[in-house]
Amino acid sequence: MKKLKYIIAIVAMVVATSCGEEFLDTNNLYGKNLDTYYSTPSDIEEAMAGVYNAIYTAGVHSNESVAANLMSDMMLGGGGPDDKSAKYVDNFEDPTEDTYRDMWTQSYNGIARANAIIEKTAEADFSTYFDSPEEAILFKNQVIGEALFMRAFFYFRLAKFFGGVPLIIAIDDPKDVARSTYTETFSQIASDLKLAIETMPNTAFPSIPTSDYGHANKWIAEAYLGRVYLYYTGYMTNIEGQSTSDLPLVEGGSLSSSDVAAYLDDCIGNSGYALASDFRNLWPYSYVNESKGSTVLPWAENEGLAWVGQDGHSPTFGTGNYESMFVQRFSFGDWGWSNGNIYTNRLALFTGIRDNSMVPFGQGWGWCTINPTLWNTWEDEDPRKQGSILELGNEEQGTGGYEADKGDHETGFFNKKYTAIQHPDDEGNVIGMFVQLYNWSNTDMQLMHAQDFIFMRFADVLLMHSEITETATGMNQVRDRANLPSIGYSLEALKQERLHEFSFEGLRWFDIVRWGDVDSAFNGTVDVRNSGIDATYSANYRSETKGLVPIPETEIRLSNGIYEQNPGW
C-alpha cells in the first residue's frame, strides 16, 4: 500500500479546533502542548500532517469537489430516488441546517494548526538536526511558508463558499469574533500567499523529493495567488458591483494585475512544472495494464495513451507527472475505522455510473450526471471531449454493457476524469485499479478510489496568465496540447477554453460566479430520465444568494448572534 504521510497519523496532531460546543475554541490533544512541542523536525512533520488532514471532511456535501460540481451548470444532481440531498444542493436549496458544517469546522482545524506551526517554528532552533545552518534555515523557511500557504488555502475555501468569515491568525486570538468583510478576508489570504512566496525556497519541481509530492511550495503559492486575484476582482466587480482590478493586502497597498502576472511568469519560467504530453494521460482511464499483457481500455491503447501516474512519477510508464501541482491525496479505508471512508476519493465514488459494473468503468452512486448541452456543443475534433465525458452505451468507450434507467437525471453521460476504474486481477476477479496497484486488501467498491483530486495543475497557470494579461500565449499552449489551432485572445474564447480544459474539476462553479455569468447559467430545461421515466430538469439559482452557501445554523447558534446568515438563506 502506498504511504500517504499526511493523511493517516492523526494521533500525532497537537492543536485542533472544535466548532462545536466551544465555538472555535482550541483544544490540546494527547498531552502534547505548545511549550514542549514543535521543537524537532519530526514534531513539525507530524503537525504539518494535521494541517493537510483538515482538507478531508466527513460530510460528503462539505467535500469541496462534490459541492462545487453539484452547483455547476454542467452537472445535474443525479443519484437515485433516495438521493434527495444531492438534488437539493443542485437546485440551490439547503437539505439540512448544517449541510456544509464539516467544511467550516475542518477549515478552522487546519487554520489553528497552521497558526501554531507559523508561530512556534519561528521560535525553534533546528540547527542540531541538520548538517549545516543553511539546511536548517531552508527547512524552517519551507515549513513556515507551507503553513502560511495552507492557512490561505483554508481561508480561500471558506471565502469561496461562505463569503467573509472570522479571521483568527494567531494562537491567542479570541475565537468569539465576528465575521470579517469579504475584502478583509481576501486581504488576509493575499498577504499570506505573498509572504509564503517570499519565504519558501526556489526549488524547481523535478528537484523536489517524490515524498513531498502534493505538498505546497513557492510555485503553488504563486499559482494560487493568480486564482485568488481573479476570484476576488471578478466577484467584487460582477457580483458586488464594486469594480476593482486590485487585490488588497492586510499591511496596506494591493497587488495589481501586472504584479500577479509577474508571479505567474515566475511559475511558468522557473517552477519545473509542465503540461503533460496528452491531456488524457492525466486521468487513470488511460492506464494500460501491461503487466498482464492486456489492455484495460482498448480506446486508450489505440490512441497511444499512457497514464502519467501519481506521486510525482508514473508507477508504470516512467514519464512523470509534471502537470499536477497541488493535489488532495487519497488512500483507501475500512469500515472498522472511525470515518473509515473519508480517505477514499468520494468524488469518484459518488459520480460513478449508478448500479452498473463494467470493465473498466465500475459502479458508483450516479451523482452529477452531465448536462448534454456540453456534449452537443463541444466540437468532436477536441480530444478533451471524449477525454472528459463518458458516453454510455458505446462499446468503443468500454460502456457497451451499460444498463439504463438505474438512476435519476439520467442523460447518457457521466464524468470520465473522476470515476470508478476496475479490471480483472490475475485470478480473473474484477477489482479496483488502485486496489491492485497498491496491493490493498479491502476490495469494497466504496473504498477503492485512491485517485488524487487535482486542485491546481499547470494548465490553469497558463490560462490564468492569459486571462490576467489578456494575451493568447498561455491559452494557445493549452490548445496546442489538444492539437487545436491557435486563436486570438478574447474573454469569451478564454471562457470556452476553461470550460473544456477543466470540466468536472470543481472550477466551473467558481468561474461562472466570478464572471457574473451565474444568473443566466441555469436558464432553460434539460430532457432527462428519472429512474426510467421521461422528465425535464431545471435548476433554481437565486441571485440574492450571491453565489454563497448558508453559514451552518449550529455555528450561528453557538456564536450567540455574532454571525449573521448569508442573504437568501
**What number of other Cβ atoms are within 10 A of residue 458's Cβ?**
24
238, 272, 306: which is the final residue of a domain? 272
* Residues 267, 290 within the same domain: no
410, 438, 455: which is the final residue of a domain? 455
Query: What single letter denotes the amino acid at residue 389?
Result: I
* Residues 509, 490 within the same domain: yes
Q: Looking up cell 503537525, which residue turns up?
A: 47
* Residues 416, 540 within the same domain: no
CA torsion 502→504→507→510, rounded to 10°? Answer: 130
Question: Per DSSP, what are the bridge partners of residue 535?
Answer: 528
* Residues 34, 167 within the same domain: yes
Give the DSSP letter of residue 550: P
Four-residue CA torsion sign, 343, 313, 462, 186: positive
Backbone angles phi, psi at 413, to 5 degrees: -140, 140
CATH number at residue 93: 1.25.40
End-to-end CA distance of the chain: 44
Nearest to 406 by CA among 533, 248, 319, 310: 533
Nearest to 72 by CA among 517, 543, 478, 460: 517
* Residues 428, 492 within the same domain: no
* Residues 539, 569 within the same domain: no
Give the count of alpha carbons within 13 A of 440, CB side only: 24
pTM (predicted TM-score): 0.93
Question: Per DSSP, what are the bridge partners of residue 353?
Answer: 363
* Residues 308, 447 within the same domain: yes
Checking DSSP bridges between strand 389-391 and strand 25-28, what pairing results, if any?
unpaired
**pLDDT at residue 44, as a whole number:** 95
**pLDDT at residue 183, as a whole number:** 98
**pLDDT at residue 299, as a whole number:** 67
Separation CA 365–CA 352 (nearest Å): 6
**pLDDT at residue 296, as a whole number:** 58
**pLDDT at residue 35, as a whole number:** 72
* Residues 187, 237 within the same domain: yes
Planar angle of CA 130, 134, 140, nearest 5 degrees: 75
* Residues 198, 294 within the same domain: no
**pLDDT at residue 23, as a whole number:** 41
For the chain, how many structural domains are there in total? 4
* C-beta separation of 393 from 399 below 8 A: yes
* Residues 30, 168 within the same domain: yes
* Residues 266, 337 within the same domain: no
**DSSP strands (E only) in 483-563:** 526-530, 533-537
* Residues 466, 403 within the same domain: no
Domain enclosing residue 446, as ranges: 279-455
455, 482, 510: which is the final residue of a domain? 455
How far is CA 510 from its chain centroid?
12
Q: Looking up cell 496540447, which residue turns up?
A: 481
Please report, in tens digits, the pLDDT of each residue of the chain (569 residues total): 334 433 333 322 333 233 333 444 444 444 566 677 899 999 999 999 999 999 999 999 999 999 999 999 999 999 999 999 999 999 999 999 999 999 999 999 999 999 999 999 999 999 999 999 999 999 999 999 999 999 999 999 999 999 999 999 999 999 999 999 999 999 999 999 999 999 999 999 888 887 788 799 999 999 999 999 999 999 999 999 999 999 999 999 999 999 999 999 999 999 999 999 999 999 999 987 654 545 556 667 778 888 998 876 565 554 689 999 999 999 887 888 777 788 999 999 999 999 999 988 999 999 999 999 999 999 999 999 999 999 999 988 889 999 999 999 999 999 999 999 998 888 888 999 999 888 888 899 999 999 999 999 999 999 999 999 999 999 999 999 999 999 999 999 999 999 999 999 999 999 999 999 999 999 999 999 999 999 999 999 999 999 999 999 999 999 998 999 999 99
